[in-house]
Amino acid sequence: MVILTLNCGSSSAKYQVFDWEEKEVLSVGVVERIGLEYSTIEQKSKGKPVYQARFSSPTHKEAIELVLKMLVDPEYGCIGSLDEIGAVGHRVLHGGEMFKKSTLVTDEVVEKLKTLIPLGPLHMPANIMGIEAARKLMPGVPNAIVMDTAFHQTMPEEAFMYAVPYEWYTKYNVRRYGFHGTSHLYCAKRAACLLGKKNEDTNLIILHIGNGASASAVKNGVCIETSMGLTPLEGLVMGTRSGDLDPAIIPYICQNTGLTVQEMDTYLNKKSGLMGLCGKSDRRDVHEAALAGDRNAQLAVDMECHRLKKYIGAYAALLGRVDAVVFTAGVGEMGDHIRKGTLEGLESLGIIFDEEKNRLSHCRNAETCISADSSPVKVFVIPTDEELVITEDAYALMNGTYDVHTNFHYTFESPDYVNKARAEGLKGNLKKTPELERIIAIPPAKASCSVKGC
């Protein structure tokens, strides 16, 4: 049996097929430009050539129709029949206060999701279209939703409330929800495993840094604070999003420029962050420009690291004891210059990173430890796996064994867990960079020392 995961964005649909018995990924793909003059698809299946094509996809329904067709294609596909799909797991941006854990999809669930569209107007309609398309095209196959906000719903009231009129919360659901929850959950469980500690005994600061970026404080295995708020706009400096700012800036700029509320929203979400500071949003481009002497690009790097460092300090104060700082997602996993700028000068918090280890950690196929041997607080780089969380939730919901993450055991919590695709990819990384082996993090149950390289 296989599990299909779907992550439908406003104009895209990412997907993955996972063989539950063999515990390996059979296929990954993405459809882009949905709703435009033409759409594109790229699919990579195990042992098969890469499939790329242009086609017409006015809605997500046509996109998913092609995905299902290509999954069973003799030349490019990965399964013999759609009957092999036992469940479909969907990533959903916003669960509001209705959905605090993953759940099976029913007509009632879909209607409730539609009431949450105002909290995520860009992503929620696409999420819902993906769910409806999958249900229509595969009748009888269980569908499960996994909310980006769910992991953060353990925050106490003093953390998730804003100091605004209380009726804004009761009437309009204004509060902090947080996002990237599946990534934070995965990294929290993996970090506890690498530390050789029980989840409920583990305190962590997790930094998910991609184009969008968020931080979370995890105390005794549950989230007590996170940087994103009502929407994914709040918090860290991001690729095109501003993150934290004085709210008075909004009416001030609107009054001086004539921008509408909608135009201001566009500026803060799509024309701010690194893009607003230096005209580039990809960290690789920003770093290259900074090295070439672009002052604004260097300022953008410095501001991002400054904001990350500030959140680490704040979260360390909330946690009292920090067992590890975790970097994840594209930039967190590959941006050693961002990690360096963030970690420098944190010795007073017990965080001492090793510059050479940090430089070596440039690999998305291994969990590494980049803290100095003398560091009281470990620093891990953990490649995230949101699709696996969605897959396992969907399988458990289908079988009636699912529960909230504090009462549920994921396969990747085991010291013996192996991601087969990454393990294979790591062989090539080690051939190219043999020194990488000394910083690979090993769970204590599998090593004579607590963490190899630390």
Q: Which of 19, 148, 323, 354 is catalytic?
A: 148
b/e burial code for range 320-330 (CB count within 10 A of at least 16 → b): eebbbbbbbbb
127 DSSP 8-state letter: H
d(CA 306, CA 244) in angstroms, rounded, equals: 12
**CA distance to 240, 312, 387, per residue, from 342 (Å):** 19, 9, 28
Please, which residues bridge with residue 323 across strands? none
Which residue, among 324, 350, 354, 349, has the nearest Cα to 339 in the 3D structure?
A: 354
Q: With the CA atoms of 387, 393, 399 and 404 taken in that order, what torsion angle do they form, in degrees rounded to the nearest 10?
A: 170
Which residue, among 160, 150, 161, has the nearest Cα to 184 in the 3D structure?
A: 150
Q: Do 45 and 78 meet the contact criterion of CB atoms below 8 Å apart?
A: yes
Q: Do 129 and 8 meet the contact criterion of CB atoms below 8 Å apart?
A: yes
261-270 and 249-257 helices, crossing angle to 10°: 120
Instruction: Determine the distance from the C-alpha atom of residue 108 to the mean position of all C-alpha atoms in its chain, rounded to a whole number.
Output: 27
**CA distance to 31, 48, 63, per residue, from 44 (Å):** 12, 7, 16
Q: Do 330 and 338 meet the contact criterion of CB atoms below 8 Å apart?
A: no
d(CA 143, CA 124) in angstroms, rounded, equals: 16
Q: Do 193 and 201 meet the contact criterion of CB atoms below 8 Å apart?
A: no
201 annotated active-site: no
Tokens encoding 446: 């599998």
**CA distance to 180, 185, 282, per residue, from 4 (Å):** 20, 20, 30
Element at 213 (helix H, strand E): strand 213-219
Three-state DSSP class for 8? strand
d(CA 338, CA 351) in angstroms, rounded, equals: 16
Three-state DSSP class for 251? helix
Tell me which residues are annotated as active site: 148
